[in-house]
Structure 1
Amino acid sequence: MFRLALVTCLAAAPAAAHYGMIIPSDPMLSQEDGRAIDLTLSFSHPFEEDGMVLERPEAFTVTHDGTTTDLLGDLSEATVMDEPGYTLTHELARPGTHVFAMTPVPYWEPAEDAFIQHFTKTYVSAYGDDEGWDAELGLRTEIVPLTKPFGLWAGNVFQGIVHLEGSPVPYAEVEVEFYNEGQSAGVPSDLMITQTVKADGNGVFTYAAPASGWWGFAALNTAPETMAFEGEDKAVELGAVIWVRFEEWMSR
Protein backbone atom coordinates (compact mmCIF):
# COMPACT_ATOMS: atom_id res chain seq x y z
CA MET A 1 0.00 0.00 0.00
CA PHE A 2 1.28 3.42 -0.80
CA ARG A 3 1.46 6.34 1.59
CA LEU A 4 1.56 9.91 0.45
CA ALA A 5 2.06 12.99 2.57
CA LEU A 6 -1.33 14.34 3.55
CA VAL A 7 -1.69 18.09 3.50
CA THR A 8 -4.79 19.21 5.36
CA CYS A 9 -6.67 22.10 3.86
CA LEU A 10 -9.78 23.06 5.81
CA ALA A 11 -11.10 25.28 3.06
CA ALA A 12 -10.91 22.62 0.37
CA ALA A 13 -14.16 21.17 -0.89
CA PRO A 14 -14.50 17.38 -0.75
CA ALA A 15 -14.31 15.39 -3.96
CA ALA A 16 -17.68 14.49 -5.41
CA ALA A 17 -17.05 11.48 -7.64
CA HIS A 18 -19.57 8.67 -7.13
CA TYR A 19 -18.91 4.99 -7.78
CA GLY A 20 -21.02 1.89 -7.79
CA MET A 21 -18.88 -0.80 -6.19
CA ILE A 22 -18.66 -4.60 -6.38
CA ILE A 23 -15.71 -5.73 -4.29
CA PRO A 24 -14.98 -9.49 -4.03
CA SER A 25 -13.02 -11.08 -1.22
CA ASP A 26 -10.64 -12.59 -3.79
CA PRO A 27 -10.23 -11.56 -7.46
CA MET A 28 -8.27 -14.74 -8.29
CA LEU A 29 -9.72 -17.75 -6.48
CA SER A 30 -7.46 -20.80 -6.31
CA GLN A 31 -8.27 -24.37 -5.33
CA GLU A 32 -6.52 -23.77 -2.02
CA ASP A 33 -8.80 -20.79 -1.27
CA GLY A 34 -12.01 -22.86 -1.31
CA ARG A 35 -14.89 -22.65 -3.77
CA ALA A 36 -16.77 -19.49 -2.78
CA ILE A 37 -16.14 -15.76 -2.58
CA ASP A 38 -17.84 -13.00 -0.64
CA LEU A 39 -18.98 -9.90 -2.52
CA THR A 40 -19.85 -6.48 -1.16
CA LEU A 41 -22.06 -4.07 -3.14
CA SER A 42 -22.14 -0.38 -2.29
CA PHE A 43 -22.36 3.17 -3.60
CA SER A 44 -19.76 5.59 -2.34
CA HIS A 45 -16.94 8.07 -2.63
CA PRO A 46 -14.31 5.31 -2.39
CA PHE A 47 -11.18 7.33 -1.60
CA GLU A 48 -12.80 8.97 1.41
CA GLU A 49 -14.68 5.76 2.33
CA ASP A 50 -17.77 7.95 2.38
CA GLY A 51 -20.76 5.65 1.91
CA MET A 52 -24.04 6.53 0.25
CA VAL A 53 -27.38 4.73 0.17
CA LEU A 54 -27.52 1.85 -2.31
CA GLU A 55 -31.12 0.89 -2.93
CA ARG A 56 -31.89 -2.66 -3.99
CA PRO A 57 -30.46 -2.88 -7.52
CA GLU A 58 -32.57 -3.33 -10.60
CA ALA A 59 -30.34 -6.25 -11.57
CA PHE A 60 -27.37 -8.19 -10.26
CA THR A 61 -25.91 -11.02 -12.33
CA VAL A 62 -22.87 -13.19 -12.93
CA THR A 63 -21.75 -14.17 -16.43
CA HIS A 64 -19.52 -17.19 -17.08
CA ASP A 65 -18.73 -18.86 -20.39
CA GLY A 66 -21.50 -16.90 -22.16
CA THR A 67 -24.22 -17.78 -19.62
CA THR A 68 -25.71 -15.09 -17.38
CA THR A 69 -27.30 -16.01 -14.04
CA ASP A 70 -29.59 -13.78 -11.99
CA LEU A 71 -28.25 -13.31 -8.44
CA LEU A 72 -30.59 -10.54 -7.30
CA GLY A 73 -32.47 -12.87 -4.96
CA ASP A 74 -29.23 -13.92 -3.25
CA LEU A 75 -28.39 -10.44 -1.97
CA SER A 76 -28.52 -9.76 1.76
CA GLU A 77 -28.93 -6.29 3.21
CA ALA A 78 -25.81 -5.00 4.95
CA THR A 79 -24.23 -1.83 6.25
CA VAL A 80 -21.29 -0.74 4.10
CA MET A 81 -19.33 2.39 4.98
CA ASP A 82 -22.13 3.24 7.46
CA GLU A 83 -24.79 3.20 4.75
CA PRO A 84 -27.17 0.57 3.29
CA GLY A 85 -25.54 -1.86 0.88
CA TYR A 86 -25.60 -5.58 0.09
CA THR A 87 -23.49 -8.69 0.46
CA LEU A 88 -23.60 -12.26 -0.77
CA THR A 89 -21.51 -15.41 -0.83
CA HIS A 90 -21.29 -17.05 -4.24
CA GLU A 91 -19.82 -20.40 -5.16
CA LEU A 92 -17.68 -20.52 -8.30
CA ALA A 93 -18.52 -23.94 -9.61
CA ARG A 94 -16.30 -23.95 -12.68
CA PRO A 95 -12.93 -22.57 -13.78
CA GLY A 96 -12.71 -19.41 -15.88
CA THR A 97 -13.66 -15.76 -15.50
CA HIS A 98 -16.87 -14.84 -13.71
CA VAL A 99 -18.15 -11.31 -14.40
CA PHE A 100 -20.39 -9.77 -11.75
CA ALA A 101 -22.57 -6.88 -12.90
CA MET A 102 -24.94 -4.51 -11.11
CA THR A 103 -27.57 -2.21 -12.58
CA PRO A 104 -28.63 0.16 -9.78
CA VAL A 105 -31.76 2.22 -9.43
CA PRO A 106 -31.09 5.79 -10.69
CA TYR A 107 -29.93 7.96 -7.81
CA TRP A 108 -30.94 11.61 -7.50
CA GLU A 109 -27.90 13.84 -6.83
CA PRO A 110 -28.91 17.39 -5.82
CA ALA A 111 -25.34 18.68 -6.16
CA GLU A 112 -25.34 17.78 -9.85
CA ASP A 113 -29.05 18.47 -10.44
CA ALA A 114 -29.22 15.11 -12.19
CA PHE A 115 -29.87 11.42 -11.76
CA ILE A 116 -26.93 8.98 -11.65
CA GLN A 117 -27.00 5.36 -12.78
CA HIS A 118 -23.72 3.42 -12.69
CA PHE A 119 -23.59 0.09 -14.52
CA THR A 120 -20.89 -1.64 -12.49
CA LYS A 121 -18.72 -4.70 -13.22
CA THR A 122 -16.00 -6.73 -11.51
CA TYR A 123 -14.14 -9.70 -13.02
CA VAL A 124 -13.08 -12.72 -10.91
CA SER A 125 -11.00 -15.67 -12.15
CA ALA A 126 -11.41 -19.16 -10.74
CA TYR A 127 -8.93 -21.99 -10.34
CA GLY A 128 -6.09 -20.60 -12.43
CA ASP A 129 -8.18 -20.19 -15.60
CA ASP A 130 -8.52 -16.69 -17.08
CA GLU A 131 -10.68 -17.63 -20.08
CA GLY A 132 -13.30 -14.93 -20.66
CA TRP A 133 -11.39 -12.03 -19.10
CA ASP A 134 -12.39 -9.74 -21.99
CA ALA A 135 -16.10 -10.59 -21.89
CA GLU A 136 -18.51 -7.88 -23.00
CA LEU A 137 -21.93 -8.17 -21.35
CA GLY A 138 -24.03 -5.93 -23.57
CA LEU A 139 -24.90 -3.50 -20.78
CA ARG A 140 -26.31 -0.16 -21.80
CA THR A 141 -22.90 1.30 -21.08
CA GLU A 142 -19.77 -0.56 -20.03
CA ILE A 143 -16.01 -0.56 -20.07
CA VAL A 144 -14.75 -3.54 -22.05
CA PRO A 145 -11.26 -4.50 -20.79
CA LEU A 146 -8.39 -4.54 -23.25
CA THR A 147 -6.06 -5.48 -20.41
CA LYS A 148 -6.84 -8.48 -18.22
CA PRO A 149 -8.66 -6.88 -15.24
CA PHE A 150 -6.94 -9.04 -12.61
CA GLY A 151 -3.45 -10.45 -12.14
CA LEU A 152 -1.92 -6.99 -12.54
CA TRP A 153 1.04 -5.57 -10.66
CA ALA A 154 0.94 -2.06 -9.22
CA GLY A 155 2.41 0.14 -11.93
CA ASN A 156 0.99 -1.93 -14.77
CA VAL A 157 -1.13 -0.21 -17.40
CA PHE A 158 -4.87 -0.90 -17.63
CA GLN A 159 -6.66 -0.23 -20.91
CA GLY A 160 -10.35 -0.37 -21.68
CA ILE A 161 -12.76 0.73 -24.36
CA VAL A 162 -15.84 2.75 -23.42
CA HIS A 163 -19.09 1.54 -24.96
CA LEU A 164 -22.49 3.25 -24.90
CA GLU A 165 -25.47 1.51 -26.48
CA GLY A 166 -23.04 -1.02 -27.97
CA SER A 167 -20.77 1.48 -29.74
CA PRO A 168 -17.41 3.00 -28.75
CA VAL A 169 -17.48 6.53 -27.35
CA PRO A 170 -14.76 8.73 -28.87
CA TYR A 171 -12.95 10.95 -26.35
CA ALA A 172 -15.04 9.70 -23.43
CA GLU A 173 -14.08 11.10 -20.04
CA VAL A 174 -13.02 8.46 -17.51
CA GLU A 175 -12.70 9.16 -13.78
CA VAL A 176 -10.24 7.01 -11.81
CA GLU A 177 -10.25 6.57 -8.04
CA PHE A 178 -8.53 4.39 -5.45
CA TYR A 179 -10.56 2.47 -2.87
CA ASN A 180 -8.76 3.80 0.17
CA GLU A 181 -9.57 1.07 2.70
CA GLY A 182 -8.58 2.03 6.21
CA GLN A 183 -7.68 5.54 5.02
CA SER A 184 -4.07 4.43 4.62
CA ALA A 185 -3.37 6.83 1.74
CA GLY A 186 -3.36 10.60 1.66
CA VAL A 187 -3.07 13.25 -1.02
CA PRO A 188 -1.25 16.59 -1.24
CA SER A 189 -4.27 18.11 -2.99
CA ASP A 190 -7.95 17.19 -3.25
CA LEU A 191 -7.51 17.48 -7.01
CA MET A 192 -5.68 14.14 -6.86
CA ILE A 193 -8.47 12.17 -5.20
CA THR A 194 -10.26 11.62 -8.50
CA GLN A 195 -7.98 11.49 -11.52
CA THR A 196 -9.34 11.99 -15.02
CA VAL A 197 -8.22 10.61 -18.37
CA LYS A 198 -9.79 10.88 -21.80
CA ALA A 199 -10.28 8.08 -24.26
CA ASP A 200 -8.92 8.42 -27.76
CA GLY A 201 -10.98 8.66 -30.93
CA ASN A 202 -11.77 4.94 -30.72
CA GLY A 203 -12.99 5.08 -27.13
CA VAL A 204 -9.80 3.51 -25.72
CA PHE A 205 -8.27 4.87 -22.50
CA THR A 206 -5.07 4.02 -20.63
CA TYR A 207 -4.10 4.34 -16.96
CA ALA A 208 -1.13 3.11 -14.92
CA ALA A 209 -2.06 2.50 -11.28
CA PRO A 210 0.71 3.74 -8.95
CA ALA A 211 -0.16 1.44 -6.04
CA SER A 212 -1.67 -1.92 -5.18
CA GLY A 213 -5.33 -2.26 -4.27
CA TRP A 214 -8.71 -1.78 -5.92
CA TRP A 215 -9.05 0.97 -8.52
CA GLY A 216 -12.37 2.11 -9.96
CA PHE A 217 -12.78 3.41 -13.52
CA ALA A 218 -15.98 5.30 -14.37
CA ALA A 219 -16.75 6.48 -17.91
CA LEU A 220 -19.46 9.10 -17.76
CA ASN A 221 -21.98 10.01 -20.45
CA THR A 222 -25.38 11.68 -20.53
CA ALA A 223 -28.45 9.66 -21.51
CA PRO A 224 -30.59 10.99 -24.38
CA GLU A 225 -33.70 10.74 -22.19
CA THR A 226 -34.54 12.65 -19.01
CA MET A 227 -36.24 11.70 -15.74
CA ALA A 228 -38.79 13.74 -13.83
CA PHE A 229 -37.95 15.16 -10.41
CA GLU A 230 -40.47 17.37 -8.61
CA GLY A 231 -42.22 18.15 -11.87
CA GLU A 232 -39.07 19.00 -13.84
CA ASP A 233 -37.16 17.01 -16.43
CA LYS A 234 -33.64 16.22 -15.24
CA ALA A 235 -30.58 14.80 -16.99
CA VAL A 236 -29.43 11.23 -16.35
CA GLU A 237 -25.71 10.47 -16.00
CA LEU A 238 -24.86 7.00 -17.25
CA GLY A 239 -21.70 5.62 -15.71
CA ALA A 240 -19.80 2.59 -17.03
CA VAL A 241 -17.84 1.39 -13.99
CA ILE A 242 -15.24 -1.36 -13.73
CA TRP A 243 -13.21 -2.31 -10.65
CA VAL A 244 -9.69 -3.61 -11.22
CA ARG A 245 -7.32 -5.11 -8.67
CA PHE A 246 -3.58 -4.35 -8.77
CA GLU A 247 -1.23 -6.51 -6.68
CA GLU A 248 1.83 -5.47 -4.70
CA TRP A 249 5.13 -6.61 -6.21
CA MET A 250 6.46 -9.69 -4.43
CA SER A 251 10.16 -10.33 -4.02
CA ARG A 252 11.68 -13.69 -3.06
Structure 2
Amino acid sequence: MWKTFLMSCVMVLSVYGVALAHFGMVIPSTGTVTEKKDANVSLDLAFAHPMEGQGMRLAKPVVKVVAGGKTEDVTPSLKAKKIMDHDGWTAQYAIRKPGVYQFVMEPQPYWEPAEDCYIVHYTKTYVSAFGDEDGWDEPAGLKTEIVPLTRPFGNYAGNVFQGQVLLDGKPVPGADVEVELYNRDGKYEAPNEYMVTQVVKADANGVFTYAVPFAGWWGFAALNTAPEKLDHDGSPKNVELGAVLWAEFVDPVRK
Protein backbone atom coordinates (compact mmCIF):
# COMPACT_ATOMS: atom_id res chain seq x y z
CA MET A 1 0.00 0.00 0.00
CA TRP A 2 2.70 2.45 1.04
CA LYS A 3 4.80 1.48 -1.98
CA THR A 4 1.88 2.29 -4.30
CA PHE A 5 1.28 5.60 -2.52
CA LEU A 6 4.93 6.63 -2.76
CA MET A 7 5.09 5.73 -6.44
CA SER A 8 2.02 7.88 -7.05
CA CYS A 9 3.68 10.80 -5.25
CA VAL A 10 6.81 10.44 -7.36
CA MET A 11 4.73 10.45 -10.56
CA VAL A 12 2.82 13.56 -9.46
CA LEU A 13 6.00 15.38 -8.49
CA SER A 14 7.57 14.46 -11.80
CA VAL A 15 4.67 15.94 -13.70
CA TYR A 16 4.71 19.12 -11.64
CA GLY A 17 8.48 19.36 -11.91
CA VAL A 18 8.23 19.54 -15.68
CA ALA A 19 5.43 22.10 -15.58
CA LEU A 20 7.23 24.57 -13.30
CA ALA A 21 9.39 26.14 -16.03
CA HIS A 22 7.50 29.20 -17.29
CA PHE A 23 8.78 31.40 -20.10
CA GLY A 24 7.66 34.75 -21.39
CA MET A 25 8.04 34.58 -25.16
CA VAL A 26 8.81 37.19 -27.83
CA ILE A 27 9.42 35.35 -31.09
CA PRO A 28 10.02 37.42 -34.26
CA SER A 29 9.51 36.16 -37.79
CA THR A 30 13.25 36.52 -38.33
CA GLY A 31 16.33 37.29 -36.26
CA THR A 32 18.09 39.11 -39.09
CA VAL A 33 16.78 41.32 -41.87
CA THR A 34 18.99 41.49 -44.96
CA GLU A 35 16.44 42.35 -47.65
CA LYS A 36 13.59 44.86 -47.80
CA LYS A 37 11.05 42.10 -48.40
CA ASP A 38 11.71 40.81 -44.87
CA ALA A 39 11.63 44.22 -43.18
CA ASN A 40 8.03 43.92 -41.95
CA VAL A 41 8.76 41.84 -38.86
CA SER A 42 5.93 40.02 -37.13
CA LEU A 43 6.12 39.20 -33.43
CA ASP A 44 4.38 36.44 -31.50
CA LEU A 45 3.99 37.17 -27.78
CA ALA A 46 3.09 34.39 -25.38
CA PHE A 47 3.50 32.88 -21.92
CA ALA A 48 4.12 29.15 -22.03
CA HIS A 49 6.07 25.97 -21.38
CA PRO A 50 7.81 26.17 -24.76
CA MET A 51 9.45 22.75 -24.96
CA GLU A 52 6.16 21.03 -24.13
CA GLY A 53 4.11 23.31 -26.35
CA GLN A 54 1.75 24.17 -23.48
CA GLY A 55 0.43 27.71 -23.52
CA MET A 56 -1.02 29.87 -20.77
CA ARG A 57 -3.12 33.01 -20.92
CA LEU A 58 -1.12 36.19 -21.49
CA ALA A 59 -2.96 39.35 -20.47
CA LYS A 60 -2.22 42.31 -22.72
CA PRO A 61 1.40 43.31 -22.07
CA VAL A 62 3.40 46.45 -22.74
CA VAL A 63 5.66 46.03 -25.77
CA LYS A 64 8.48 48.40 -26.69
CA VAL A 65 11.20 48.59 -29.31
CA VAL A 66 14.62 49.86 -28.25
CA ALA A 67 16.94 50.94 -31.07
CA GLY A 68 19.45 53.71 -31.73
CA GLY A 69 19.14 55.08 -28.21
CA LYS A 70 15.39 55.56 -28.53
CA THR A 71 12.41 53.63 -27.14
CA GLU A 72 9.14 53.27 -29.04
CA ASP A 73 5.93 51.96 -27.46
CA VAL A 74 4.13 49.65 -29.89
CA THR A 75 1.52 48.39 -27.41
CA PRO A 76 -1.40 50.07 -29.24
CA SER A 77 -0.65 47.96 -32.33
CA LEU A 78 -1.04 44.61 -30.53
CA LYS A 79 -3.67 42.20 -31.79
CA ALA A 80 -5.01 39.15 -29.99
CA LYS A 81 -3.84 35.79 -31.31
CA LYS A 82 -4.19 32.18 -30.16
CA ILE A 83 -0.73 30.74 -29.52
CA MET A 84 -0.45 27.16 -28.29
CA ASP A 85 -4.26 27.23 -27.91
CA HIS A 86 -4.17 30.09 -25.39
CA ASP A 87 -4.57 33.86 -25.45
CA GLY A 88 -1.45 35.54 -26.82
CA TRP A 89 -0.68 38.57 -28.94
CA THR A 90 0.91 39.54 -32.21
CA ALA A 91 2.39 42.75 -33.58
CA GLN A 92 3.89 44.02 -36.81
CA TYR A 93 6.90 46.30 -36.93
CA ALA A 94 8.38 47.84 -40.08
CA ILE A 95 12.16 48.17 -39.95
CA ARG A 96 13.14 51.10 -42.15
CA LYS A 97 16.86 51.54 -41.51
CA PRO A 98 19.94 49.60 -40.38
CA GLY A 99 20.24 48.90 -36.67
CA VAL A 100 19.91 46.43 -33.83
CA TYR A 101 16.33 46.33 -32.55
CA GLN A 102 15.47 45.04 -29.08
CA PHE A 103 11.83 43.95 -28.80
CA VAL A 104 10.83 44.04 -25.14
CA MET A 105 7.71 42.71 -23.39
CA GLU A 106 6.67 43.81 -19.89
CA PRO A 107 3.71 41.61 -18.81
CA GLN A 108 1.06 42.00 -16.18
CA PRO A 109 1.66 39.83 -13.07
CA TYR A 110 0.51 36.24 -13.62
CA TRP A 111 -0.90 34.39 -10.60
CA GLU A 112 0.41 30.82 -10.40
CA PRO A 113 -1.49 28.85 -7.74
CA ALA A 114 0.80 25.82 -8.06
CA GLU A 115 3.70 27.95 -6.83
CA ASP A 116 1.66 30.28 -4.62
CA CYS A 117 3.24 33.34 -6.19
CA TYR A 118 2.98 35.90 -8.97
CA ILE A 119 5.21 35.66 -12.03
CA VAL A 120 6.50 38.64 -14.01
CA HIS A 121 8.85 37.84 -16.90
CA TYR A 122 10.61 40.75 -18.56
CA THR A 123 11.22 39.25 -21.99
CA LYS A 124 13.21 40.44 -24.97
CA THR A 125 14.69 39.38 -28.29
CA TYR A 126 16.86 41.00 -30.93
CA VAL A 127 16.57 41.64 -34.66
CA SER A 128 19.57 42.96 -36.57
CA ALA A 129 18.87 44.77 -39.83
CA PHE A 130 20.73 45.58 -43.03
CA GLY A 131 24.23 44.69 -41.86
CA ASP A 132 24.28 46.76 -38.68
CA GLU A 133 25.22 44.93 -35.48
CA ASP A 134 26.26 47.74 -33.12
CA GLY A 135 24.75 47.88 -29.66
CA TRP A 136 23.65 44.27 -29.18
CA ASP A 137 25.46 44.17 -25.81
CA GLU A 138 23.69 47.23 -24.41
CA PRO A 139 21.06 46.80 -21.63
CA ALA A 140 17.49 47.80 -22.37
CA GLY A 141 17.09 49.29 -18.89
CA LEU A 142 14.61 46.71 -17.59
CA LYS A 143 13.97 45.85 -13.96
CA THR A 144 15.76 42.58 -14.65
CA GLU A 145 17.31 41.38 -17.89
CA ILE A 146 19.94 39.22 -19.52
CA VAL A 147 22.59 41.22 -21.34
CA PRO A 148 24.11 39.00 -24.04
CA LEU A 149 27.86 38.49 -24.09
CA THR A 150 27.51 36.41 -27.24
CA ARG A 151 25.97 38.22 -30.21
CA PRO A 152 22.27 37.20 -29.93
CA PHE A 153 21.71 36.77 -33.66
CA GLY A 154 23.59 35.17 -36.55
CA ASN A 155 24.50 32.08 -34.50
CA TYR A 156 24.91 28.49 -35.63
CA ALA A 157 23.42 25.58 -33.74
CA GLY A 158 26.20 24.23 -31.55
CA ASN A 159 27.54 27.67 -30.64
CA VAL A 160 28.21 28.54 -27.02
CA PHE A 161 25.99 31.34 -25.71
CA GLN A 162 26.88 33.60 -22.78
CA GLY A 163 24.85 36.23 -20.97
CA GLN A 164 25.00 38.33 -17.82
CA VAL A 165 22.02 38.45 -15.45
CA LEU A 166 21.15 41.91 -14.14
CA LEU A 167 18.67 42.93 -11.45
CA ASP A 168 18.18 46.67 -10.96
CA GLY A 169 21.18 47.14 -13.23
CA LYS A 170 23.53 45.05 -11.09
CA PRO A 171 24.93 41.55 -11.72
CA VAL A 172 23.24 38.66 -9.89
CA PRO A 173 25.87 36.23 -8.53
CA GLY A 174 24.91 32.56 -8.77
CA ALA A 175 21.61 33.19 -10.57
CA ASP A 176 19.75 30.09 -11.73
CA VAL A 177 19.10 30.17 -15.46
CA GLU A 178 16.55 27.86 -17.08
CA VAL A 179 16.93 27.05 -20.77
CA GLU A 180 14.32 25.65 -23.16
CA LEU A 181 13.77 25.20 -26.87
CA TYR A 182 10.62 26.58 -28.45
CA ASN A 183 9.40 23.24 -29.76
CA ARG A 184 7.16 25.01 -32.24
CA ASP A 185 6.15 22.08 -34.42
CA GLY A 186 6.40 19.41 -31.71
CA LYS A 187 9.02 17.40 -33.58
CA TYR A 188 11.18 16.92 -30.50
CA GLU A 189 10.38 14.90 -27.39
CA ALA A 190 12.42 14.99 -24.21
CA PRO A 191 13.71 11.53 -23.16
CA ASN A 192 12.59 12.22 -19.56
CA GLU A 193 11.39 15.07 -17.34
CA TYR A 194 14.92 16.21 -16.51
CA MET A 195 15.55 16.95 -20.18
CA VAL A 196 12.62 19.34 -20.68
CA THR A 197 14.32 22.28 -18.99
CA GLN A 198 18.09 22.68 -18.93
CA VAL A 199 19.54 24.51 -15.91
CA VAL A 200 22.81 26.40 -15.56
CA LYS A 201 24.11 28.63 -12.78
CA ALA A 202 25.72 32.02 -13.25
CA ASP A 203 29.14 32.75 -11.78
CA ALA A 204 30.07 35.42 -9.24
CA ASN A 205 29.62 38.11 -11.93
CA GLY A 206 26.19 36.89 -13.01
CA VAL A 207 27.60 35.35 -16.20
CA PHE A 208 26.25 32.03 -17.49
CA THR A 209 27.31 29.78 -20.37
CA TYR A 210 25.29 27.32 -22.42
CA ALA A 211 26.17 25.29 -25.53
CA VAL A 212 23.10 25.13 -27.80
CA PRO A 213 22.74 21.55 -29.09
CA PHE A 214 20.50 22.01 -32.12
CA ALA A 215 18.75 24.61 -34.26
CA GLY A 216 15.71 26.65 -33.21
CA TRP A 217 14.65 29.51 -30.97
CA TRP A 218 16.08 29.07 -27.48
CA GLY A 219 14.91 30.86 -24.34
CA PHE A 220 17.09 31.74 -21.34
CA ALA A 221 15.23 32.64 -18.13
CA ALA A 222 17.06 33.93 -15.05
CA LEU A 223 14.82 33.86 -11.98
CA ASN A 224 14.88 36.02 -8.86
CA THR A 225 12.41 36.96 -6.14
CA ALA A 226 11.31 40.59 -5.93
CA PRO A 227 11.82 42.34 -2.56
CA GLU A 228 8.23 43.58 -2.63
CA LYS A 229 5.10 41.40 -2.51
CA LEU A 230 1.73 41.62 -4.25
CA ASP A 231 -1.67 41.09 -2.67
CA HIS A 232 -3.71 38.03 -3.57
CA ASP A 233 -7.10 37.65 -1.87
CA GLY A 234 -5.88 39.66 1.10
CA SER A 235 -2.55 37.87 1.53
CA PRO A 236 0.89 39.17 0.49
CA LYS A 237 2.53 36.87 -2.05
CA ASN A 238 6.02 36.58 -3.50
CA VAL A 239 6.74 37.79 -7.02
CA GLU A 240 9.04 35.77 -9.27
CA LEU A 241 10.97 38.12 -11.52
CA GLY A 242 12.18 36.52 -14.72
CA ALA A 243 14.78 37.98 -17.04
CA VAL A 244 14.10 36.18 -20.32
CA LEU A 245 16.05 36.39 -23.56
CA TRP A 246 15.27 34.57 -26.81
CA ALA A 247 17.83 33.91 -29.52
CA GLU A 248 17.76 31.93 -32.76
CA PHE A 249 20.38 29.33 -33.67
CA VAL A 250 20.43 27.95 -37.21
CA ASP A 251 21.98 25.19 -39.27
CA PRO A 252 24.25 26.16 -42.18
CA VAL A 253 22.84 25.91 -45.68
CA ARG A 254 24.08 22.83 -47.52
CA LYS A 255 25.12 23.20 -51.14
Tell me the secondary structure at the aligned position of residue 108 of structure 2: coil
Q: Residues 1-252 of structure 1 correspond to what in structure 2 (within 5 A)?
A: 11=11, 12-13=14-15, 15-16=18-19, 17-31=21-35, 33-57=37-61, 59-252=62-255
Shift of 1:32: 5.0
Shift of 1:53: 0.3
Shift of 1:231: 1.1
Q: Matches of 2:214 and 2:38 in 1, distance apart?
A: 27
Q: Which amino acid aligns with 1:210?
A: P
Shift of 1:200: 0.3
Shift of 1:250: 2.7
Tell me the secondary structure at the aligned position of residue 77 of structure 1: strand
Shift of 1:27: 0.7
Instruction: Provide the aligned C-alpha RMSD in A.
Output: 1.3
Q: Matches of 1:47 and 1:161 in 2, distance apart?
A: 23
Shift of 1:117: 0.1
Question: Tell me, which stretches of 5 or more residues in structure 1 are unaligned?
Answer: 1-10
Shift of 1:129: 1.6
Q: Matches of 1:193 and 1:125 in 2, distance apart?
A: 29
Shift of 1:96: 1.3
Question: Tell me, which stretches of 5 or more residues in structure 2 are unaligned?
Answer: 1-10
Shift of 1:135: 2.1
Moved more, 174-183 or 127-136: 127-136
Q: Matches of 2:138 and 2:97 in 1, distance apart?
A: 16
Tell me the secondary structure at the aligned position of residue 125 of structure 1: strand
Q: Matches of 1:54 and 1:106 in 2, distance apart?
A: 10
Shift of 1:187: 1.6
- Tell me the number of residue pairs that the alignment of Structure 1 and Structure 2 aligns: 242
Tell me the secondary structure at the aligned position of residue 171 of structure 1: coil
Larger radius of gyration: 2
Q: Which amino acid aligns with 1:237?
A: E
Tell me the secondary structure at the aligned position of residue 237 of structure 2: strand
Q: Which amino acid aligns with 1:87?
A: T
Shift of 1:89: 1.1
* 4+ residue segments displaced more than 2 Å: 32-35, 249-252
Q: Matches of 1:56 and 1:186 in 2, distance apart?
A: 31
Counterpart of 1:4 in structure 2 is none
Q: Matches of 1:156 and 1:128 in 2, distance apart?
A: 21
Shift of 1:35: 2.2
1:54-99 Cα distance to aligned partner (Å, 9 max, x none): 0011x21001111100001010111111111111111001111100
Shift of 1:205: 0.2
Shift of 1:131: 1.7
Shift of 1:251: 3.1
Q: Which amino acid aligns with 2:38?
A: G
Higher normalized helix content (fraction of residues): 2
Q: Percent identity?
A: 52
Shift of 1:249: 2.7
